[in-house]
Structure 1
Amino acid sequence: MSESSMNRRRALTALGALSGVAITPSMASAAVVASHEPAILKAAPAFVPCLNMSTLRGHKLGFVKELETVSKAGFRSVEIWVDTLQNYLKGGGTAAEARRILGDLGIKIENAIGFAPWIISDDAARAKGLDQLKREMEQLAEVGCRRTAAPAVGATDPKGEKLDLRKVAERYRAILELGDQTGVVPHLELWGFSHNLNRLSDVMYVAIESGHPKARVLLDVYHLYKGGSSLDSLPLVGPAAIEVFHVNDYPANMPRETIVDADRVYPGDGVAPIQDILRKIKTDGKTIVLSLEVFNKGYYAQDAAVVAKTSFEKMKKMIGAV
């Protein structure tokens, strides 16, 4: 039997499987044509917009109201804060109910922001930090979140210890192995103001030296500037290392030595080279979650719905310009 005959027979058999449907010549002809056409796959978007709940944190909405607010604004991806989820659970909420709410709202939790001290040198304190992180990972897994931030909590003070990056890599591997157990991957976060892991080269060294296949880095427009990292090094990071990227902007005439978290503004409202950054991390065939993270007191003074909607519009414009 020829290949064309086999294709025709498969197409007609598929049509015949539809109970009670008569096969007309036109239907058969269409089926044969379709059998020769390759499936058309929609290309994955390079970026998807996400909102880090830091942007609404000053409104003190609580877990459910935050989700409702961002969903109405148009977001379908969020980064939650671990303490907000925990307060919801302590208040009588359940993981099952949280999953139902997320499903009803069409929201996916892409990542979580927590502050377990996993990196510190004090063995006893670090052990407590690992226990804390494991509990947080288990809670996140129960609501469908598969990532969590891993910043250098406890090792940021300029007067504190300058950590050996080889030891940091060992500690990072240890929490990646916790991730293997829980199904939640810790992403090594760059903090530009920190005494440790404040430059792109630091987090990349630790991620590579960990020797773990799931090692990932969590970078940020503001923190790259604050820590003095060269943007020309971004293409060296590689497509596997970035799944979530924090976006924001900063005003002109603010030196990196004095700028602080609260100075961050919406993308496009400052002078950060955002489009250049996004072009450097963009990878064909891969989707990166772009999460807006600001801590702007001026925004906290506005209505939460306005802030969420403005955030979504700013993100759409930013992504559309890449």
Structure 2
Amino acid sequence: MDRRRFVSLTAAVGAAGVLPLNWTAARPVTTGQQEKRYQKKVSPWPICLDTATIRPASLKDKIKIAAKAGYDAIEPWDGELQKFEAGGGNLKDLGKEIKDLGLFVPSVIGLWNSIPPTKEQFDSSLKDTRNRMRMAAAIGAEHIQTIANNAGENYNQKWMAARYREILEIGISEYKIHPALVFVKYQPIKTMGQAMAIIMDANHPSAMMIPDTYHMHISEGGFESIKLLNGSAIAIFQFSDAPASPAIADLGDSHRVYPGDGILPLQQILRDLKATGFRKCISLELYNPEYWKQDLQKVAETGLAKTLEVIRKAGV
């Protein structure tokens, strides 16, 4: 395993490790190659639209909305793919349509119930896990989110790491897709440190996780640990802001707001993210029902504009 990919204080703490006195955070190697930029060179990252941001629209309409708004990529949910296919749609054709509109699919959400606490439950879950991987691969996704929502609050880290590694091997060998682990305050894996500990213990060269600015905030894990990462450990970076009220303990996903409209230190987060060497997608992820009541094309356009404004102000 290339240890430089997974340098993280929080993971070391989660694994009960001890840092040497001369420890320093990993930093990307400078290659001398010119940096690729996106969005008329405003952003060092492609900007993606998580389809939950405009949830009331159909999947095909979401794709058209994202393309018209000017996004680089789109991140759909497994339920949408399942519904589309059940209605007679062809996912490979949908993937071609996405590509023809100038978009790509960095990730699909996700592998629900994928790391339960017993072998019998895990073996039973693989049928659904494989089907979700199949659907995501059919539209050309690079990653699929591994969601351990049924792991149990007192999960065994060694067990989780071994099962995540097994899921990785299945994804890569059978579907050419790379599962990445997520953390969510409302689920057993709550913080980035916990997720990093699991992917490190998986001991796999393709192990990755997916940070989310909102869940970093409401899980009270904070943002300083971004500085300790190497960007190659991140599959996609979920992006939104959080309001000043209600209190953190009372915040739900429905309280997410446009980048720049809340209190998160998004500019510094992006500067720290850039320093890790991360070069994949920033994905706008909003579950705000107030936005769903509005013109969804306008919501998508506003979200992109506000994301780019934060990037400009960050100076990355």
Length-normalised TM-score, structure 1: 0.81
The alignment status of 1:312 with 2:267, answered yes or no, reads no
Match of 1:274 among 249, 259, 266: 266
Partners of 1:188 and 1:216 within 8 A in 2: yes
Q: CA deviation at 1:253?
A: 3.3
2:236–2:280: 8 Å Cα contact kept in structure 1? Answer: yes
Following TM superposition, by how much is the alpha carbon of 1:72 offset from its aligned partner in structure 2, in angstroms? 0.7
Q: Give yes or no for the alignment of 1:100 onto 2:96.
A: yes
CA distance in 2, matches of 1:242, 1:147: 11
Task: For residue 64 of structure 1, report the CA deviation from its aligned partner.
Answer: 1.0
- The Cα of 1:124 is off from its aligned counterpart by 2.8
Q: Are 1:236 and 2:232 matched, yes or no?
A: no
Q: How far apart are the structure 2 equivalents of 1:252 and 1:177?
A: 42
**Counterparts in 2 of 1:1-322, with a 5 A limit?**
42-45=34-37, 46-57=44-55, 59=56, 61-155=57-151, 160-181=152-173, 182-194=175-187, 196-283=188-275, 286-322=278-314
Following superposition, the deviation at residue 56 of structure 1 comes to: 0.9
Higher relative CO (Cα under 8 Å, sequence separation at least 6) belongs to: 2
CA contact (8 A) 2:147 2:181 kept: yes
Asked if structure 2 preserves the Cα contact closer than 8 Å seen for 1:47 and 1:319, the reply is no
Return the index of the structure with the highest Cα Rg: 1
Closer, same or farther: CA 164–286 of 1 in aligned 2, 3 Å: closer
TM-score by length of 2: 0.83
Equivalent position amino acid for 2:293 in 1: A
* Paired AA for residue 49 in structure 2: L
The one-letter code matched in structure 1 to 2:237 is F
Identity, in percent, stands at: 29
**Once the 2 structures are TM-superposed, how far is the Cα of residue 286 of structure 1 from its aligned partner?**
4.7
1:285 and 1:233 mapped to 2: Cα distance? 15
- Separation of aligned partners in 2, 1:266 and 1:189: 21
Contact 1:192 1:225 in 2 (8 A): no
Cα deviation, residue 303, structure 1: 1.3
Query: Following TM superposition, where does structure 1 have runs of at least 4 consecutive aligned residues deviating by more than 4 angstroms?
Result: none
Question: Could you say what secondary structure the match of 2:248 adopts?
Answer: coil
Higher mean C-alpha deviation, range 201-210 or range 245-254:
245-254
Provide the C-alpha distance between the structure 2 equivalents of 1:164 and 1:113, rounded to a whole number of angstroms: 24
One-letter amino acid of the counterpart of residue 295, structure 2: D
Measure, in 1, the Cα distance between the counterparts of 2:255 and 2:80.
23
Change (3 A) 1:161 1:309: closer
Equivalent residues of 1:147, 1:187 under 8 A apart: yes
Kindly provide the amino acid, as one letter, of the partner of residue 48 in structure 2: C
Displacement of 1:82 = 1.0
Deviation digits for residues 199-230 of structure 1 (CA, Å, limit 9, x no counterpart)? 12111110100000001010111100111113
Structure 2 CA distance for aligned equivalents of residues 79 and 223 of structure 1: 18
| RMSD of equivalent CA atoms | 1.7
Instruction: Say if 2:232 and 2:277, in contact at 8 Å, map to a contact too.
Output: no
Residues 180 and 210, structure 2, Cα contact 8 Å, conserved in 1: yes
- 1:280-310 C-alpha deviation (Å, 9 max, x unpaired): 1114765131101111010010011111111
8 A Cα contact 1:217 1:241, kept in partner? yes
Counterpart of 1:246 in 2: which secondary structure? Answer: strand
Stretches of structure 2 lacking an aligned partner (at least 5 in a row):
1-31, 38-43
Q: CA 1:284–1:175 in structure 2 vs 1: closer, same or farther (change >3 Å)?
A: closer
Tell me how many residue pairs correspond in the alignment: 276
